[in-house]
C-alpha cells in the first residue's frame, strides 16, 4: 500500500511552485483557479515573494495548501491507497482524496488562516510554540504540568511528531521556561519556534467555534481512499466523521506518531511526502527504516521535467 503524506505550515519556501506552474499545464490551471477564487495573485507571493511575505499567515497557509495539492495532481506515476496530513496538510489530503473540492479546500484554508490569526491576536497572553527533541513523551508531559503548576504559565502538547520529537505550545513565557528546563535536563534540542500563536491547544477555542461553523456549511464527499486524521490517528471514509474531526482539529494535538504507526500497521509500505522538503519523510524513515519513503518530487513524472528545469534555471 502507498500513502501520500502532506506536511504543514513551516515548509514554505521562496519560489515554491514556480517550476510546476511553468512545466505542467495542470499546475498552471490550478494555480490560476486559485488566483481567481482568492481575487488576488497568490502565485506572485509564492513565486516571487520574500521569505517575510511568505511567513505572513494569510499567505503561508494558502501557499502551502496550493503547492501540495498541485504537486499531488500533476503526476501519474504513483496512486495512493491512503492519505494523511500533518496539521494544515490535512486540508490538502482531503482535496486529493476527493473529500473536499479544490475551491472548498482553499476556502477553508483561507478562513483557517484569518480566524487563527485573529484568535492569536486576541489571546489573553502572548503565545508561542517550541520544539523538544530527545526526551520521552511521558517525561515532557510530566514536566510541562509541573512547570505550569510552578509558574502559572499554561503549556500544552501541540504535536507528537515522532518518538522523542514533540512540539509544545502555550504562553511564550511558559514555552521559554520549559525549553530552558528541558535543555538542562538532557534534551538534544529544546527551542522556541518562530511561530506566533498557540495552535492545536485550547487557546484556539474561539477559532474552532468560528471555523467550525464554516466547516459545517461545507460539502464533504465520500472520499476515494481513507484519510488518517490528526485528532485520532485513525483512517476515515465517512464524510460526517471527517467533518467532525476537522472541526476538532484546530484545538487538538497532532498525533503524527500514532498516525505513522497506524498506517504502517495497516499495511502501508511506501510513503510519499507531498511537499517542498523531506521533513515527514525523515520522521517516517527513522520510525520504519525498512519501509520505502521518498519525496513525490523524486518520482519519474518530475525527475526529467522539474529537476532538469531547476538545474537550467
Which candidate, 71, 9, 5, 8, places its Cα nearest to that of 195?
A: 9
Is 101 a catalytic site residue? no
Catalytically annotated residue among 63, 87, 169, 171: 87
φ and ψ at residue 169, rounded to 5 degrees = -150, 155
Query: What distance in Å separates the CA atoms of residue 59 and residue 69, rounded to the nearest whole number?
Result: 16
User: CA–CA separation, 51 vs 14, rounded Å?
Assistant: 6
Which residue in the list 63, 198, 200, 252 is annotated as catalytic?
200
Q: Alpha-carbon distance 296 to 276, whole Å?
A: 9
Q: Are 23 and 306 in contact (CB under 8 A)?
A: yes
Cα dihedral 99, 14, 120, 35 sign: negative
The set of residues, in sequence order, having a beta carbon less than 8 Å from that of 102 and lying 6+ positions away, is 30, 33, 69, 95
Strands (E), 111-164: 127-133, 155-162
User: Which residues, at least 6 apart from 53, have a Cβ–Cβ distance to it below 8 Å?
Assistant: 45, 59
Q: Catalytic annotation on 249?
A: no
**Would you report the helix, strand and coil content of the chain in percent, each value rounded to 5?**
50, 15, 30
CA distances from 96 to 73, 227, 230 (A): 7, 10, 16
291 vs 50: CA distance, rounded Å: 37
C-alpha cell, 142: 510530566
Decide: 147 and 140 in contact? Cβ < 8 Å. Answer: no
Q: How many CB atoms lie within 10 A of CB 265?
A: 8
**Alpha carbon distance 56, 88 (integer Å):** 15
Supply the residues annotated as catalytic. Answer: 87, 200
Amino acid at each position: 500500500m502507498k500513502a501520500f503524506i502532506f506536511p504543514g505550515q513551516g515548509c514554505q519556501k521562496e519560489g515554491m511552485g514556480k517550476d510546476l506552474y511553468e512545466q505542467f499545464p495542470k499546475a498552471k490551471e490550478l494555480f490560476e483557479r486559485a488566483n481567481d477564487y482568492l481575487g488576488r495573485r497568490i502565485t506572485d507571493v509564492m513565486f516571487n515573494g520574500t521569505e517575510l511575505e511568505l511567513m505572513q499567515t494569510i499567505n503561508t497557509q494558502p501557499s502551502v495548501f496550493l503547492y501540495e495539492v498541485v504537486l499531488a495532481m500533476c503526476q501519474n506515476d504513483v496512486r495512493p491507497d491512503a492519505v494523511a496530513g500533518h496539521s494544515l496538510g490535512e486540508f490538502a489530503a482531503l482535496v486529493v482524496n476527493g473529500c473536499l473540492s479544490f475551491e472548498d479546500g482553499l476556502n477553508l484554508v483561507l478562513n483557517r488562516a484569518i480566524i487563527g490569526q485573529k484568535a492569536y491576536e486576541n489571546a489573553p497572553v502572548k503565545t508561542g510554540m517550541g520544539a523538544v527533541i530527545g526526551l520521552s513523551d511521558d517525561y515532557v508531559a510530566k514536566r510541562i504540568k509541573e512547570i505550569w503548576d510552578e509558574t502559572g504559565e499554561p503549556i500544552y502538547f501541540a504535536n507528537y511528531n515522532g518518538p522523542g520529537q514533540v512540539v509544545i505550545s502555550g504562553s511564550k513565557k511558559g514555552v521559554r521556561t520549559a525549553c530552558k528546563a528541558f535543555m538542562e535536563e538532557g534534551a538534544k534540542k529544546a527551542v522556541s519556534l518562530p511561530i506566533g500563536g498557540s495552535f492545536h491547544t485550547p487557546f484556539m477555542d474561539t477559532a474552532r467555534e468560528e471555523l467550525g461553523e464554516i466547516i459545517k456549511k461545507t460539502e464533504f464527499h465520500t472520499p476515494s481512499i481513507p484519510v488518517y486524521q490528526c485528532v485520532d490517528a485513525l483512517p476515515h471514509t465517512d464524510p460526517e466523521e471527517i467533518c467532525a474531526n476537522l472541526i476538532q482539529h484546530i484545538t487538538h494535538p497532532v498525533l503524527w506518531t500514532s498516525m505513522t504507526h497506524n498506517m504502517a500497521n495497516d499495511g502501508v509500505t511506501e510513503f510519499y511526502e507531498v511537499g517542498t522538503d523531506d521533513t515527514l519523510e525523515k520522521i517516517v524513515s527513522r520510525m520504519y527504516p525498512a519501509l520505502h519513503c521518498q519525496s513525490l518530487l523524486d518520482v519519474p513524472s518530475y525527475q526529467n521535467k522539474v529537476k532538469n528545469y531547476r538545474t537550467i534555471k
